[in-house]
Structure 1
């Protein structure tokens, strides 16, 4: 398959929302590499997590759980890393392959940091959406993502094309569309 025929996808997130790529979230942050391998595989490398919160004053025994979801939020596949004991800065360097039967833009990846003491507890999460990138050949991205509070609503952001940003706010029982588009710089004539 030639490079010209490879579908290029990118991850998008916006300032102030989970996944801001700043790497300093109050619930920790995670370093991931995502890659679309044509014709039908999403590769995800979980590199490391840093600054995870302590639950009840205890240092966590963290692991990362990945959920591949349809855009209708149906869980399609679940994977998880090994547990790293007694640290809030675990390193994994673990690769997962998710087979795809539809275009990548029809999937959502939910990434959760959890701790395992007597029972699992969520420490933070980020949700990644994929959309076709209008120009360019970028099919691999390595970045830090802030983890959001897992007990609150979170926002999923994706880009359909360069100037159209759309997010979906999710909570336990509802899905509300939240749209915004890039502000175009246009001047209006005053009379």
Structure 2
């Protein structure tokens, strides 16, 4: 097993830098609303010494208000794809009436190192605001990170939220 200072990309050298730039939607300095105007999320993503993927959802900034001007009630939902099941789903608490919520919630997925290249972490921001319990809560944006391209020298980063793909079940 490699040390914590070794980039995971060195452990799995099949990834190229062009693949990394297309998968990671990092924010450029000064663009707090993200490239899509949907806000951005700060995450720590690292592979731990006990063969586990560790994700810390720190905060979100500059989420847009709802169409009627109301503040959203956001939470973050994680899936470790391609496994979109209840076992793979993790969720933060809902923060009421906030476009800049702070979470600092930690989640773990047990995963052998040889499976990292086959996994994608999907991070979705959901608005839980005032909907009937039978309706699906709308996704405000999402980020997908290829776990095989994680770089342990840059564990905590901001990621721009992109328009959400509606390919999952609630």
User: CA 1:13–1:28 in 2, change beyond 3 Å: closer, same or farther?
Assistant: farther
Q: Give the TM-score, by structure 2 length.
A: 0.72
Highest Rg: 1 or 2? Answer: 1
CA distance in structure 1 between the partners assigned to 2:152 and 2:73 by the alignment: 35
Matched, 1:67 2:79: yes
TM-score (norm 1): 0.65
C-alpha displacement of 1:150 = 1.6
Matches within 5 A, 1:156-171: none
The superposition leaves residues 108-135 of structure 1 with CA deviations (integer Å, 9 ceiling, x where unpaired) of 00001111123311111010002267xx
**1:149 and 2:163 equivalent?**
yes
Tell me what 1:181 maps to.
Answer: none
Gaps of 5+ in 1: 152-170, 173-191
Over 3 Å counting, the alpha-carbon distance change for 1:128 and 1:113 in structure 2 is same
User: Could you tell me which residue of structure 1 aligns to residue 26 of structure 2?
Assistant: 20
Distance 1:121 1:114 in 2: 6
Deviation of 1:39 (Å): 4.4
SS at match of 1:131: helix
Whole-angstrom CA distance in 2 between matches of 1:125 and 1:2: 31
Aligned to 1:89: 100
Distance 2:26 2:111 in 1: 26
Relative to its length, the structure with more helix (as a share) is: 2
Where relative contact order (Cα < 8 A, 6+ residues apart) is larger, the structure is 2
Structure-2 separation of matches of 1:148 and 1:2: 33
Structure 2 unmatched runs, 5+: 10-16, 132-136
RMSD, aligned CA: 2.9
- Once the 2 structures are TM-superposed, how far is the Cα of residue 18 of structure 1 from its aligned partner? 6.2
Looking at structure 1, the residues matched to 103 and 20 of structure 2 have their Cα atoms a distance apart, in angstroms, of 23
Question: Is 1:79 aligned to residue 93 of structure 2?
Answer: no
